[in-house]
Structure 1
Amino acid sequence: MYIICRHSTPICWLRIGVVKLIGRGFSNEISGSSGPQHINTASKTIVIVGGGIGGLMFVIGLKRQLGFEDFIIYEKASDIGGTWRENTYPGCASDIATHWYSLSNGSHPTLLQHDQHVVLNTEVVSAEWIANQQHYRIIIKDLVSGTQSTISARVLVCATGILHVPCIPQDLQGIDRFKGESFHSARWNHEVDLSGKQVAVIGNGASASQLIPMITRDSSVQVVNFCRTPAWFLPRSKRLYTDREKWVFANIPFALRLYRNVAMFLNDAHYLVFMLKGKNLLRDITEGYCLQYMKRTAPTEYYEKLVPDIPLGCKRMIIDTPGEGYLAALHRPNMSINWDGIITITEDGILTQKGDNIPFDVIIFATGFKTNNVPFRITGRDKRTLQDYYHSQGGATAYLGTTVSGFPNLYLISGPNTVTSHASVIFSEEVQINYIMQLIKPLLNGSVASLEVTAEASDAYNDKIQARLAGSMYTYCTSWYLADGTKKIVAPFPGPLILFWWLLRRPVWQDYHAVDAERWMRQRRMEMFGWYLILLVSFLILVHIISFLG
């Protein structure tokens, strides 16, 4: 849906962000300030950390809904794009239907010349709330020159994402000893030619299942996939849309919207499979369907090892393309799986727990990401850092995944308990952004100095969702859905996305404490009085009509 593609995958989001609203009248070439010295950054009303999908969509919301311009995005990399900029491995793709994994508004994006609002190669080092001035003091670092500078902002938006910091398992020893080439799948080294090489791929999640079928197409590349936990494979065919279908989408009113809504409904219905513990007929049917596909597609000698011993939904499913996906690639003579476990990485390969030292030229770590990890220090109203607050809660915690008690005017995009294992993160981020727009509107028009969610509201909400999560399939295994070292489930939202939308459709203002808000509160009381008056008059008119007719 209106995507500018570079590799026929969602990596095209690298440069989508971005509608005419951001750079009206600019050319289509991407450019950006290389560091803070090129742009006046002494003070901004809004600072956005991260130039990925979330940060760019937030800018679209500012422009479209509020017509606001006094903001800046700090991006540590040399280009925008976030996770889809970082992940360029062969076969990289989204496992969510493209028509849903896209902007809801249907706007045709254009490329952005972002030198007015985006500062590249710039890392946010820290942010501290200054209560007597009602703003954040933010230290930034120019990664090109190494110089640091300070900027103040009334609103801080953390859009650093959840799947962009590579994770190497701590129990994987000997990495530094390896004398061959090694890299994480999210930091793919395109200068390394795999032809004729012995390649180890560690991990069998979504990234591994996408890249292995691609690199094994070259029969000279010998690949061994080191696996620890079997995964569930769900078949999903890919096809090209016909010219007739494209014509219908382009010319028939609401056809594209209807198609998107159907895709949304079908994907969101997977919630019934993933969430509920105990006997679940729908999950039993889905597991049986997956097992039949795996048995039909995988080589016979691998099938028993591939059958998961965890229930469907405990970890993210692998979407497999029949005939050209991971299971089909297992039939290739240059592809094999090793379940023996790794003791250590040696100078020339990998030593397994069976005592075999297998030589490799290249090791690829497809071992996932560090999640819910804020990459810079944020200090709140009571001088406690966000990291300390998370630790005190047993893991990442936020109200509606968006605001944090003790941290005024701080907003998290894709914060704790906002993602699902079955739905579009772009939609959930749009829901959050629309909610944030309502919260910051009184800040931007001067009616309020700061807003902060109360501890009582935050605790009540998180107690409720953790109770729901305790009855979900996520508790059956260890995954990135859980906080490190605890059993707290910090990533998924315990329900369908339509419920998430409903909860965030408008703020419950009683859950927030406002500073310097007397005029705003009087205005709100007057508005409420006006609505009550309208309801009263309507009721009296209705009573009068009924009595007249009677």
Structure 2
Amino acid sequence: MTAQSATAQRHRIVVIGTGFAGIGMAVRLKQAGYHDFVVLERAEDVGGTWRDNTYPGCRCDVPSHLYSFSFAPNPEWSRTFSPQPEIEAYLQKVTDGFRVRPHIRFGHAVESAHWQGDHWLVHTSQGDFTAEVVLSGMGPLAEPAVPKLPGIESFEGEVFHSAQWNHDLDLSGRKVAVIGTGASAIQFVPAIQPDVEELHLFQRTPPWVMPRPDRRISAAERRIYRAFPLAQKAARAGVYWTRESTVLAFAKIPALMKLGQRVAERHLQEQVRDPELRAKLTPDFTLGCKRVLLSADYYPALAQPNVEVVTDSIHEVTPTGIVTDDGVKHEVDTIIYGTGFRVTDLPVMDMLHGRDGRTLREAWADGMEAHLGTAVAGFPNFFLLIGPNTGLGHSSMVFMIESQIAYILDALKTMDATGVREVEVRPEVQREFVDRVRSSMRNTIWTRGGCSSWYLDAKGRNTTLWPSFTFRFRQLTKRFDAAQYRTR
């Protein structure tokens, strides 16, 4: 025992993060009879991504009925695609309804975690914790990715990332530069366009945008869901299987994606009449290669007279604007990054030290990988939620999270039943799983669609997405197989 661990708070289990993963894990731990656990959260409330992203227009692109825990249906969704405040409120309601809040330590930013030979020592901004098992719910959409633009330090105006929205700044009458055209930008651009004097959208690659079939859920529908929970369960099942069918186009028969691409092309043509602007907004890759975006108001916003879509690369930032490679200076007083997150460069990679002090970054020097996206060789009694190759391009991450939670609970129960104190996935088991995933990935739209995206790591490999049906992942995580692990 180290001197630091002698004064640490002791718990059997430490959970990190209070997004869907951390809260879902905490609820299921309590329901399974595990009460000696603590949840560490750097912020002052729960919510994760849905607490931090409060930019105008923020909402989910997965239908509401599917974007919730199976054990906690929400009959009160106001729309078929939920806005951010409702999702954050839902997570708070689950936290309090299942009495998880007493287990949470707010304001405890995890700074590092070290395997000590028979337990974990977790350092936080407010003290140390020891645990037999560490469960990480730190999702990939937590740390903003901010590009290093030449001259940005000289800029005299306001600068912020969409995930760190400056609500104190009134954008009315301002000349705003938006850098990036991903999932966040297509939501906040239409929200701020009517207020700003000028909006300069710096686009590196145009995304494919599909119509968003969003509508208000009527009071009568909500009454039915409250009175007859099976009705909402049936609605959820319908959404699930509809979404699941699209895997055929994404991962099995990419040629099918041409049908969806025709819908996106028609959507663009109907909403953007100017042929020059439409040409700028037409992607040169197959639909699905990058994240497919949903919006009914993005294109109309770009067609407004106070908006300029800039396709030339940024050369430098000056004190009063942005100069592009064509030599044009765009005078702006505000820069907003819509540049996404550090998905394949997670901070946890440097914080986590496994056997022999090896960091997760060192273990992942050749790319992120984990058995079932959950367990990493060399890191005993450690499990990831939303780990490598568990992301989705078509359905709800909550489904994947619940699959992993069930697997981890079965691991804990197996340890209890057999008297095992330590489990560590065998390297050859992890390698076999990763090889199967990479083999399955070869013919998917994500690798053959002709684009680069945040799905891919620095070596061009897709280490983020699951290349098959989600029910197949649930089958694989249904049971913890101790034979695949080194045990002590």
Q: What is the TM-score when the length of structure 2 is the normalising length?
A: 0.90
- Could you tell me which residue of structure 2 aligns to residue 547 of structure 1? none
* CA distance in structure 2 between the aligned counterparts of 1:110 and 1:469, rounded to whole angstroms: 35
TM-superposed CA distance for 1:115, in Å, is 6.0
- Could you tell me which residue of structure 2 aligns to residue 128 of structure 1? 114
Q: 1:110 to 1:406 in 2, by over 3 A?
A: closer
Correspondence 1:355-394 to 2 at 5 A: 355-372=327-344, 373-375=346-348, 376-391=350-365, 394=366
- Could you tell me which residue of structure 2 aligns to residue 86 of structure 1? 52
- Could you tell me which residue of structure 1 aligns to residue 130 of structure 2? 152
Which amino acid in the other structure matches residue 110 of structure 2?
A: V
**C-alpha contact 1:135 1:154 (8 A) present in aligned 2:** yes
**C-alpha contact 1:299 1:330 (8 A) present in aligned 2:** no
* CA distance in structure 2 between the aligned counterparts of 1:413 and 1:505, rounded to whole angstroms: 15
* CA distance in structure 1 between the aligned counterparts of 2:168 and 2:237, rounded to whole angstroms: 42
**C-alpha contact 2:208 2:283 (8 A) present in aligned 1:** yes
Which amino acid in the other structure matches residue 16 of structure 2?
A: V
* CA distance in structure 2 between the aligned counterparts of 1:335 and 1:444, rounded to whole angstroms: 61
SS in 1 for 2:201: strand
Instruction: Let me know the Cα RMSD of the aligned residues.
Output: 1.8
SS in 1 for 2:330: strand
SS in 2 for 1:73: strand
Which amino acid in the other structure matches residue 195 of structure 1?
A: S
- Could you tell me which residue of structure 1 aligns to residue 249 of structure 2? 273
Which amino acid in the other structure matches residue 267 of structure 1?
A: R
- Could you tell me which residue of structure 1 aligns to residue 175 of structure 2? 198
SS in 2 for 1:116: helix
2:25 pairs with 1:58: yes
CA deviation digits over 1:46-75, x for unaligned, max 9? 0111122211110011011x1211111111
* CA distance in structure 1 between the aligned counterparts of 2:371 and 2:405, rounded to whole angstroms: 14
**C-alpha contact 2:121 2:128 (8 A) present in aligned 1:** yes
- Could you tell me which residue of structure 2 aligns to residue 435 of structure 1? 407
CA deviation digits over 1:358-413, x for unaligned, max 9? 1111000000100141435222224322110001xx21110000001111110001
TM-superposed CA distance for 1:111, in Å, is 5.4
SS in 2 for 1:230: coil
* CA distance in structure 1 between the aligned counterparts of 2:20 and 2:251, rounded to whole angstroms: 27
TM-superposed CA distance for 1:120, in Å, is 1.5
SS in 1 for 2:368: coil
Q: 1:340 to 1:470 in 2, by over 3 A?
A: same
**C-alpha contact 2:182 2:339 (8 A) present in aligned 1:** yes
* CA distance in structure 1 between the aligned counterparts of 2:103 and 2:53, rounded to whole angstroms: 24
Which amino acid in the other structure matches residue 68 of structure 1?
A: Y
TM-superposed CA distance for 1:479, in Å, is 1.2
Correspondence 1:137-536 to 2 at 5 A: 137-142=121-126, 149-170=127-148, 172-218=149-195, 220-252=196-228, 254-276=230-252, 280=255, 282-300=256-274, 301-321=276-296, 325-372=297-344, 373-375=346-348, 376-391=350-365, 394-444=366-416, 447-475=419-447, 476-483=450-457, 485-515=458-488
**C-alpha contact 1:139 1:150 (8 A) present in aligned 2:** yes
Q: What is the TM-score when the length of structure 1 is the normalising length?
A: 0.80
Q: 1:288 to 1:102 in 2, by over 3 A?
A: same
Give the share of equivalent positions with the same residue, in percent: 35
TM-superposed CA distance for 1:253, in Å, is 5.2
Find 2:69's aligned residue among 99, 103, 107. 103
SS in 2 for 1:363: strand
1 or 2 for the larger relative contact order (CA 8 Å, sep ≥6)? 2
SS in 1 for 2:323: strand
- Structure 1's unaligned 5+ residue stretches are 1-39, 143-148, 516-550
**C-alpha contact 1:198 1:223 (8 A) present in aligned 2:** yes
TM-superposed CA distance for 1:246, in Å, is 2.1
TM-superposed CA distance for 1:251, in Å, is 2.3
